[in-house]
Copies of this chain bind each other. A is one copy, B any other.
């Protein structure tokens, strides 16, 4: 698919996608004869995964570390698994602390409700 479609399907701007390629997050993107990028379903899967990591608070630099291992092929599987497991642990503890923040927020809201002067 072309840039326009890929941009629409990932909800990332063309600028951002080019930027991701520049910093090494996207590798081996095909080009058509006129030099325009064309993206595959595999690229879409990969970007979807990147966005998942991003949305769970992983900085681009860490995602890049994973991407570099991925580019090296199967031999880095163990290492990648470890990275994901570490991220999983972080995410899990963050969810737990967010649940606590939610409870604290509820308490605060409850306080506002109880102290209404009206």
Interface residues on chain A, number (Cβ under 8 Å): 32
The answer to whether A77 and B112 have CB atoms under 8 Å apart is yes
Interface code A50-68, partner B: CB below 8 Å = 1, 0 otherwise? 0010011000000000000
The answer to whether A102 and B106 have CB atoms under 8 Å apart is no
- Closest residue of chain B to A95 (Cβ to Cβ) is B98
Known contacts A81-B109, A95-B95, A97-B55: A102-B115 contact under CB 8 Å: no
Interface of chain A: mostly helix, strand, loop or mixed = helix
User: What residues on B are CB-neighbors of A101 within 8 Å?
Assistant: 52, 55-56, 91
- Is A14 in contact with chain B by the CB < 8 A criterion? no
Known contacts A95-B99, A102-B95: A80-B117 contact under CB 8 Å: no
